[in-house]
Structure 1
Amino acid sequence: MTVGAARRALGGRAALWIAFAVAHLLVALLGLWGFGWPLGDLATYRAWAQEADFGAVRMGIDVPWVYPILAFAPMAAALALGHEWYDQAWLAIVTGLDAIAFAILLGRGVLTRGRRAAAWWWMGFAVLLGPVALGRIDAVTVPFAVVGLLVALGRPRVAATLLTVGAWIKVWPAALIGALMVAVRRRAEVAVIAVALSAGVLGVSLLAGSGLNALGFIGEQTGRGLQVESPGAVPFLWMIAAGDATHRVYYDRDILTYQLLGPGTADVAWWSTPALVVAVAAVVVVGVRAVRRGASAGRLLAPLSLAFVTVLVLANKVGSPQFATWLIAPVVLQTVLDRRRALVPALAGLGVALSTHLVYPYLYGWLLIADPALVLVLTLKVALLMLLLAWAVRAVWQAGSAPGRRADRPVGAGRSAGEE
């Protein structure tokens, strides 16, 4: 087979769907059979769903919860095959949602190089990231985010709907709504839909008897300490690795995660929230500057979205491994619109996925004892995230310095402006 024939074969829809199936099957098998308890969070989801199924406690309704209220929908749906098949049902649900988003990414028209590259990148990212690519609540929000950004340029109301639903499953897609409101002209429509849907979700929750528990996830997150995988934990982990006995890793049984304890850790955890607010405000300022200088939404939306999500990860005191999935939607959109300019974020994103997988789940125990090799891997991951943020902010700034001339049109199906 010639190089050209091989390239055409790998770029066809059949090859891409085979890659989708292989990638999801491999990641699912790693989750079901890999060591290190890779699907550990699903046990917690199942317990919550079972409590509601047995008529005991409804999370987010009867008691405050760490997640927004719609997160309970996929958790409860995974009971459809019975309690003993919960993990398999969860993986099937996430795979089905991914398949819908993947089909929209490929579109019905001409399969452009940008779409092919984005599809291959997404599947490669999932394999490199491993089980957390499917086995966390964040995985449910990824297809909402991917489709939301893909249709945002031409159908901002549809995008706002999808992203708002995603934000009520896991908060992070709210950052993409923020990027959408800065980048597109029909921002008032986006705001109205986001507010109306949120009011509807809260209204239904109140009718179900939630009271203020529907907003309990806000307080639950702010009360957390400095998690061991977070960027802010890196200096303290190096101190422990160097033999410092004043800092240690402990297991918080209320939050069900490993956190750091010692001088300065509480201060870093507290300051992470103000730092996040300042960093987000700075990104907004750069984005608004670009808009006022005539930057098109087609050139601005992807890097602005990437800047927002990397800020959320870097300034986050939690730093869970599944946060890496937040990078997927912005990088996919950037690759679809301009695959050549997407090279840096695509490669850096793959590096983040691989470094995350190396730490969790297989070698996570070594990070808990601050083994220098694992702390180095975490440090490299943080460096890659900083590179992503720098690239994204620079791209947003450049969008305002040299506005793109391409029209803003939908990329949800077929060829559109900005694609190669």
Structure 2
Amino acid sequence: MSRRSAIGIVAPWCAFLLVHVIVAVSGWLLPSQPMGDVVLVYEPWSTAALSGGPIVGVTETWVYPQLALVPMLVAKILSLPLIAAMGVSGAYLIAWAVMVTVLDAIAFVVLLGRSPSRPRRLAAWFWIAALLLLGPIAMYRIDAVTVPLAVIGGLWLTRRPALAAALLTVGAWIKIWPGALLLAALVAARSRMRMLLTAAAVTAGVIVLLLALGADSEILGFLTEQTGRGLQIEAVAATPFLWLAVAGSARIEYSYDILTFQIGAPGADAVSAVLTPVMVVLVVVITIVGAVKATRGASFSRLFPPLALSLVTALIVVNKVGSPQFQTWLIAPAVLWLVLDRARAGVPAVIVLALCALTCLVYPLNYDALLRAEILPVAMLTLRNVLLIVALVVGIRALTRVPAHRPSTNRE
């Protein structure tokens, strides 16, 4: 291995470790408790499950798919030696940060390998920059567990399609969004039947396990729990209402049922109610466009990246929830686009980095001011939400411009 090649591998790894330390520590230092969900929600859930109490998703309906409890339990188990040996305060937070870093490192190994190509090195640096710009929210949420699974699954789609489908399905049973990557793969890849059968088998296994543990109506609780949610203040559709709140014509209210801030204003509930059907329609339309391209012979490397980004972005733009950690969803499709089609990935990658930076400026840095409906954070959030729409348009535009190579049947 040449010196230049060695530096090309060592430098990203040094940056990877440094950024993970910075992001982990910043969760303790920045305002608005960016790691609050981990200790205030995840740890009590895992403690209850391990101590014979209620098991979320099994004995009671839960807002997350059931496999989301697994990494929470793993972090709890990892924290026990820290507590026993040193009585470390915040042991669960430390265990969570270590777990996420290890998962990211595994995906980083798959991404870089021993002799990474230039697109893979660029994708690695992009991922590092995205984590740094997004800040602690990129680590201290359950979504952080799904990003490395999505990256590995996406990288293995052509060489190990069954294993890739299994990883993406597991990811979807932790947080739904990796299912968008699986859907894009089923449309764009030739081994779609193998992937579909694998995804069905993994899903069947999860359901059988949940039934054996005593779950019944709770199995799909993560879908039914979303129906009663109001319009969260960070959602794209909430942007006009935030400006009404600045003018004193709308309210920002806290929901103790789902532990989030929502819009209280005439028309907000109606907007919230229509968003999910619109999301379904948009996802179907994007999928149909991708399917048409696939049937006309579009290559996987050109079709999958814009289709994946468009589907994931649609889940964010047309969503009644706008949690800041949703921006982590965009990292995986951008990484995969850089690997598969670097020449056309520049603009989407820059947009994702800008979205990460703007999201961090809003949460956690200016979140208290946002809750007071002050103009500056509302303006920053508005810019972030407009940029999300731009990302969706860029993705769909790239999707419609994917060349189709229909085999010729009329040769002279």
Q: Matched residues in 2 for 1:397 and 1:210: separation?
A: 43
How far does residue 311 in structure 1 lie from its aligned partner after superposition? 0.2
Alignment of 1:55-74 (within 5 A): 55-74=52-71
Q: In structure 2, the residue corresponding to 1:195 is in which secondary structure?
A: helix
Residue number among 227, 231, 235 corresponding to 1:222 in the alignment = 227
How far does residue 9 in structure 1 lie from its aligned partner after superposition? 8.1
Q: In structure 2, the residue corresponding to 1:149 is in which secondary structure?
A: helix
How far does residue 158 in structure 1 lie from its aligned partner after superposition? 1.4
Output the amino acid matched with 2:273.
Answer: W
Match of 2:32 in 1: 36
Match of 2:347 in 1: 344
Once the two structures are superposed, what CA deviation does each residue of 1:298-343 show, in whole Å capped at 9, x if it has no partner? Answer: 1111110000000000001111000000011111011112223111
How far does residue 215 in structure 1 lie from its aligned partner after superposition? 1.4
**Any unmatched runs of 5+ in structure 1?**
404-420
Q: Does 1:79 find its partner at 2:50? A: no
Q: In structure 2, the residue corresponding to 1:340 is in which secondary structure?
A: helix
Q: Does 1:294 find its partner at 2:300? A: no
Alignment of 1:292-331 (within 5 A): 292-331=295-334
Output the amino acid matched with 1:228.
Answer: I
Residue number among 165, 171, 180 corresponding to 2:176 in the alignment = 171
Q: Matched residues in 2 for 1:11 and 1:184: separation?
A: 34
Q: Does 1:377 find its partner at 2:380? A: yes
Q: Matched residues in 2 for 1:75 and 1:33: separation?
A: 23
Output the amino acid matched with 2:310.
Answer: A
Q: In structure 2, the residue corresponding to 1:227 is in which secondary structure?
A: coil
Q: How has the CA–CA distance of structure 1 residues 314 and 11 changed in structure 2, closer, same or farther, with 3 Å as cutoff?
A: farther
Alignment of 1:352-367 (within 5 A): 352-367=355-370
Match of 1:52 in 2: 49
Q: Matched residues in 1 for 2:243 and 2:404: separation?
A: 40
Q: Matched residues in 2 for 1:145 and 1:137: separation?
A: 13
Output the amino acid matched with 2:103.
Answer: L
Root-mean-square deviation over aligned CA pairs:
1.8
Q: Matched residues in 1 for 2:204 and 2:327: separation?
A: 29
Structure 1's consecutive aligned runs of 4 or more residues displaced over 6 angstroms after TM superposition are: none
CA contact (8 A) 1:164 1:177 kept: yes
Q: Does 1:162 find its partner at 2:159? A: no
Alignment of 1:54-133 (within 5 A): 54-80=51-77, 81-82=79-80, 84-108=90-114, 110-133=115-138
**Any unmatched runs of 5+ in structure 2?**
84-89, 407-412
Greater RCO structure (CA 8 Å; 6+ sep): 1
Deviates more, 1:150-159 or 1:86-95: 150-159
Q: How has the CA–CA distance of structure 1 residues 400 and 340 changed in structure 2, closer, same or farther, with 3 Å as cutoff?
A: closer
Once the two structures are superposed, what CA deviation does each residue of 1:268-324 show, in whole Å capped at 9, x if it has no partner? Answer: 100000110111011012101211221011111111000000000000111100000
Deviates more, 1:38-47 or 1:288-297: 288-297
CA contact (8 A) 2:62 2:218 kept: yes
Q: In structure 2, the residue corresponding to 1:396 is in which secondary structure?
A: helix
Match of 2:390 in 1: 387
Output the amino acid matched with 1:282.
Answer: V
Once the two structures are superposed, what CA deviation does each residue of 1:154-213 show, in whole Å capped at 9, x if it has no partner? Answer: 222111000000011111111111101110112111111111111110110110011121
Q: Matched residues in 1 for 2:193 and 2:130: separation?
A: 34
Aligned residues: 396
Q: Matched residues in 2 for 1:9 and 1:353: separation?
A: 30
CA contact (8 A) 1:287 1:396 kept: yes
How far does residue 35 in structure 1 lie from its aligned partner after superposition? 2.5
Q: Does 1:186 find its partner at 2:186? A: no
CA contact (8 A) 1:11 1:116 kept: no
Output the amino acid matched with 2:65.
Answer: P
Q: Matched residues in 2 for 1:243 and 1:57: separation?
A: 42
Output the amino acid matched with 1:348.
Answer: I
Match of 1:255 in 2: 258
Q: In structure 1, the residue corresponding to 2:342 is in which secondary structure?
A: coil
Once the two structures are superposed, what CA deviation does each residue of 1:71-122 show, in whole Å capped at 9, x if it has no partner? Answer: 10110111122374000000100100000000100023x3211011100000
CA contact (8 A) 2:147 2:329 kept: yes
CA contact (8 A) 2:245 2:252 kept: no
CA contact (8 A) 1:289 1:400 kept: no
Percentage of pairs with the same residue: 47
Q: In structure 2, the residue corresponding to 1:249 is in which secondary structure?
A: strand
How far does residue 402 in structure 1 lie from its aligned partner after superposition? 6.5
Once the two structures are superposed, what CA deviation does each residue of 1:15-45 show, in whole Å capped at 9, x if it has no partner? Answer: 0100100110000000123222110110210
Q: Does 1:232 find its partner at 2:229? A: no
Q: Does 1:211 find its partner at 2:227? A: no
